[in-house]
Structure 1
Amino acid sequence: MSLDVVDLRSFYAAPLGRIAHRYVARTLREWWPNTTGMAVIGLGYAVPYLGQFRDEAVRVIGLMPAEQGVLHWPGTDVTSTALVEPASLPLPDGCIDRLVVVHLLEVAEHPREVLDEIWRVLAPGGRMIVVAPNRRGWWARVDTTPFGFGQPFSKSQLNTLLRDTLFSPERFGEALYVPPLRFRSVWRLAAMFEACGCWLGLPGAGLHVVEASKQLYRPIPLRKTAKRGIPKLDPVLAPVAGRLARRSQPSGRDGSIARRTGSIERQQR
């Protein structure tokens, strides 16, 4: 099930969306403290988390899936967003240094194809951060937020998915220990929920935040080749001298002519 860009924009304008933005953006900034001179791309609905990189990165662009829709960002005359097909990005190979994936993998029909395309456009040594709902968390169990749609992941599932698509997971983090409830009292305690959950390492956070790097070389997959039929070789019992003698005799029409000539000569004698 795809998410609509209008619903996503409304969510991040609401109190729960601002809480989600605060703690996810803080993790992104801690892991990427300096992106000076880099090209930073957001894939999915990642524009709420890209603004903190605009003052230092050489290029910041938001790429949004066609099924989701696109909006104008960052609010100036020139837009920095584009509508794309996630499994076929309009980018050359190895042109991106940092890439943020939010609101995409859980609703993607073929997440492996999306990650293969991300691997292609990332530069050697480039890094990616994936934000995905935790299947053990509260946020994946309610549909009042965008993180309740699609297929949530466990930590081991994300790790396997990234390794199968030739990424090296570097760091795993979690965010949103606060319950996704629409009560002001819960919103005021969000900082306490987050601090206690991170300090105690409690299970049940709403989101997985994973950083992975691109492996420079892709191994070539082995393909099964068709077995070629080998002719059966029967043993030859004739002596070597006999075989050589037979090989030295002419064959075919020339051989028959030679035999006839020999018999005529013997008769004349």
Structure 2
Amino acid sequence: MPMDVIDLRNFYGRALGRVARALIGRRIRAMWPDVKGLSVLGLGFATPYLGSFLGEAERVVGLMPAQQGVLRWPPEGRCLTGLVDEKELPLEDESIDRVLIVHGLEASEAMRAMLRQVWRVLAPGGRVLIVVPNRRGLWARREATPFGQGQPFSRGQITQALRESMFSPAGWEVALFVPPFDLRPLMRSARAWERVGTFLWPRFAGVILVEATKQIYAATPIPEARCMAAIRQRVRAMTPVPRGWQKDMEDDR
């Protein structure tokens, strides 16, 4: 069973969670170094990574799916989080410039519907950045962390999911090479693990980060009922006519 917001909050309150937030957060900011004047949406449990955008982006919002629950964020000031149905985001079309999905896709009960909602609310030229557990990584096998919950992904699987939802992958990063254990020596050497792992065994990272853009001119699939009606109409239009029809028409004249 996927972790709820209390489990996720507790994880990020531990030393291992703080290390994970620092390492993943560095990769996120490297991919999005400038969000000045943009609107940023965090979907899933992205609030540990949204703090760096406050005061820089024009608007920052965190939406959490109903099956996960919601927590107030930030602790002080106006609340910027809300509980939503992942299949019906309460946002206007093309109203968001950047969407960050963390602890969202792997735990989703309707992944494709959620991605289609992200496509709807993302502005032309906007970008979505998704953080998912790596199927080959050690973190996906450690159920004591949120990255060991839900469905892990390979690079090919996340690429297919994005393309089926009319997104084009535009950039890749990996993170979390330190083993997922609350051991002080590992926590102290986490950055060294990150540097070495990036060069020696990038396929075994704990998480995959993929940035994607929406395909503006992609064709929208035709509903099955409409598609079958169109096929029947074409079949009727192409019904073969018996030979000799021209002669019969001349005789009638």
Do Structure 1 and Structure 2 share a fold, with TM-score over 0.5?
yes
**In the alignment, residue 84 of structure 1 is paired with which amino acid?**
V
Identify the residue that residue 75 of structure 1 maps to in structure 2. 75
Residues 238 and 214 of structure 1: is their aligned pair in 2 closer, same or farther, counting only changes over 3 Å? closer
CA distance in 2 between counterparts of 1:115 and 1:231 reads 44
Please give the residue correspondences for 1:126-165 in structure 2 after superposition, counting only pairs within 5 Å.
126-165=126-165
**In the alignment, residue 71 of structure 1 is paired with which amino acid?**
L
Identify the residue that residue 233 of structure 1 maps to in structure 2. 242
When structure 1 is superposed on structure 2, of 213-222 and 165-174 the one drifting more is 213-222
Identity %: 47
Identify the residue that residue 262 of structure 1 maps to in structure 2. none
**In the alignment, residue 69 of structure 1 is paired with which amino acid?**
G
Identify the residue that residue 106 of structure 2 maps to in structure 1. 106
Three-state SS of the structure 2 residue aligned to 1:27 is helix
**Cα distance, 1:110 vs structure 2:** 2.0
Three-state SS of the structure 2 residue aligned to 1:135 is coil
CA distance in 2 between counterparts of 1:235 and 1:62 reads 71
**Cα distance, 1:211 vs structure 2:** 0.7
Pair 1:118 & 2:118 matched: yes
Identify the residue that residue 184 of structure 1 maps to in structure 2. 184
Please give the residue correspondences for 1:195-234 in structure 2 after superposition, counting only pairs within 5 Å.
195-221=195-221, 223-224=227-228, 225-226=231-232, 227-228=235-236, 230=239, 232-234=241-243
**Cα distance, 1:109 vs structure 2:** 1.7
**Cα distance, 1:201 vs structure 2:** 4.5
Structure number with greater Rg is 1
CA distance in 1 between counterparts of 2:205 and 2:248 reads 83
In the alignment, is the contact (CA less than 8 A) between 2:130 and 2:210 conserved in 1?
yes
Three-state SS of the structure 2 residue aligned to 1:104 is coil
Three-state SS of the structure 2 residue aligned to 1:228 is helix
**Cα distance, 1:203 vs structure 2:** 2.4
CA distance in 1 between counterparts of 2:85 and 2:76 reads 25
**Cα distance, 1:202 vs structure 2:** 3.2
Please give the residue correspondences for 1:78-93 in structure 2 after superposition, counting only pairs within 5 Å.
78-93=78-93
| Aligned residues: CA RMSD | 1.8
Q: TM-score, normalising length from structure 1?
A: 0.86
CA distance in 1 between counterparts of 2:207 and 2:80 reads 27
When structure 1 is superposed on structure 2, of 213-222 and 118-127 the one drifting more is 213-222
**In the alignment, residue 121 of structure 1 is paired with which amino acid?**
V
Structure 1 residue runs of 4+, over 2 Å off?
199-203, 220-224, 229-234, 236-240
In the alignment, is the contact (CA less than 8 A) between 1:125 and 1:215 conserved in 2?
no
Identify the residue that residue 263 of structure 1 maps to in structure 2. none
**In the alignment, residue 244 of structure 2 is paired with which amino acid?**
P
Query: What are structure 2's unaligned runs of at least 5 residues?
Result: none
**In the alignment, residue 139 of structure 1 is paired with which amino acid?**
W
**Cα distance, 1:238 vs structure 2:** 7.1
CA distance in 2 between counterparts of 1:162 and 1:231 reads 43
Q: TM-score, normalising length from structure 2?
A: 0.91
Task: Give CA deviations for 1:69-127 in whole Å, capped at 9, x if unaligned.
Answer: 11111112420000001111000100000010000111112211111110000000100
How many residue pairs get aligned? The number is: 243
In the alignment, is the contact (CA less than 8 A) between 2:43 and 2:64 conserved in 1?
yes
CA distance in 2 between counterparts of 1:201 and 1:75 reads 38
CA distance in 2 between counterparts of 1:106 and 1:189 reads 28
In the alignment, is the contact (CA less than 8 A) between 1:115 and 1:165 conserved in 2?
yes
Query: What are structure 1's unaligned runs of at least 5 residues?
Result: 248-269
**Cα distance, 1:19 vs structure 2:** 0.8
**Cα distance, 1:54 vs structure 2:** 0.6
Three-state SS of the structure 1 residue aligned to 2:23 is helix
Pair 1:56 & 2:56 matched: yes
**Cα distance, 1:218 vs structure 2:** 2.7
CA distance in 2 between counterparts of 1:213 and 1:83 reads 25
In the alignment, is the contact (CA less than 8 A) between 2:174 and 2:202 conserved in 1?
no
Residues 77 and 231 of structure 1: is their aligned pair in 2 closer, same or farther, counting only changes over 3 Å? same
Residues 59 and 181 of structure 1: is their aligned pair in 2 closer, same or farther, counting only changes over 3 Å? same
**Cα distance, 1:193 vs structure 2:** 0.6
